[in-house]
Copies of this chain bind each other. A is one copy, B any other.
Amino acid sequence: MHTIPELQELITGALAVKKYGEAPVELYEPIEYIMSLGGKRLRPCLLLMACDLFGGDVIQAIQPALAIEVFHNFTLMHDDIMDKAPLRRGKQTVHEKWNPNIAILAGDVMMVEANKLIMQVDNAILRPVLDVFNETAVGVCEGQQIDMNFETRDKVAVDEYINMIRLKTAVLLGGTLKIGSIIGGANTTDASLLYSFGEQLGIAFQLQDDILDVYGDPEKFGKQVGGDILSNKKTYLLIKALETATGDTLKELNHWLSVTEYDPIEKVTAVKAIYNQLSIREQAEAEMNRYAEMAMSNFEQINLPEERKSILKEFADALLVREY
């Protein structure tokens, strides 16, 4: 088996030599650009770990792992247009550095490139791998649309929110792990268990992200603390607070959601105080732990010796105790 740094090096090395196309340069430069912005390469690494878990040859899983990274960056490129995001990993987004048309078209080509990369598997598993990949891709698009719908809606229920983050974030983790497991030679039962593990882990991970936005250590979190509060983003915390609050507390929360001119620190402090009063953090952590435990329960059912599973298990544990 391989250590995580070994697998990360395989990914970094493969990405460093990966070529996306020659001409027209207007189409391929933005692809080289977004792919070079870095990031943790979490998803391709997970694919290799899943393959390795079942004793597969990780070298054979490298191109499909890149497929997932290219696909993920395609969705980021298109999402950034939709969200009018100026920055991605601290650098200009593609639609800002070039223009939206180029970001649309370069994204489209990345989607095709991802399809070409994911096909680099044995014929015997080509169809199952593609089936998982396509289902995952549809889910991610649906999740993005539901997320956009939430922006203009007054009320979002908790289960609607969980379904949105499941689609937008978690199915890709599930799908990535499942594809890795198929390449690694897992049977259908174990591949499905690993999918569920990834999906539930992804939901827990996103809930943690919501919590960190308010309660994270600003130095470790790397983002502006309270960013979600300032943008009135319908996170688990806000949805739960709106559901729980009554009387004056609800009135005050709605006030902060409606004011257009305010002192940012004052708003974050006030909303955080409401969250504290309603024990929102504890509820969010309980929900996060519930998904983490479901994830681990699925993982434990995978029919492999404990020592084989330790690397992925430690990785999942580490993922859920980030930067508090």
Contact = CB atoms under 8 A, between A and B. Distances in A.
A105 B27 contact: no
B127 A123 contact: yes
A127 B126 contact: yes
Interface size class of A (residues with CB under 8 A): 35 or more
A126 B127 CA distance: 8
Interface in A133-155: 134, 137-138, 141-142, 144-146, 148-149
B24 A149 contact: yes
Contact of A145 (B24, B81, B116): B24
A112 B127 contact: no
A309 B15 CA distance: 47
Interface in A16-61: 21, 23-24, 26-27
Summarize A's interface: helix, strand, loop or mixed.
helix
A112 B138 contact: yes
A248 to B, nearest CB: 35
Residue of A27, A108, A115 most packed against chain B (CB within 10 A): A108
Interface string A51-82: 00000000000000000000000000010011
A109 interface: yes
Contact of A130 (B81, B119, B144): B119
Contacts of A127: 119, 123, 126
A220 to B, nearest CB: 33
Copies per complex of this chain: 2
Interface in A236-280: none
A70 to B, nearest CB: 13
A100 to B, nearest CB: 8
B119 A141 contact: no
A130 B118 CA distance: 11
A156 to B, nearest CB: 13
Given A123-B127, A142-B24, A116 B104 contact: no
A111 interface: yes
A189 interface: no
B101 A104 contact: no
Contacts of A123: 123, 126-127
B112 A141 contact: yes
Given A112-B137, A130-B115, A101 B148 contact: yes
10 contacts: A24-B142, A24-B145, A108-B111, A111-B112, A112-B134, A112-B141, A113-B138, A115-B115, A115-B137, A123-B123
Given A81-B104, A113-B138, A126-B126, 11 more contacts: A27-B142, A27-B145, A82-B104, A102-B145, A108-B108, A109-B138, A112-B137, A112-B138, A112-B141, A119-B134, A123-B126
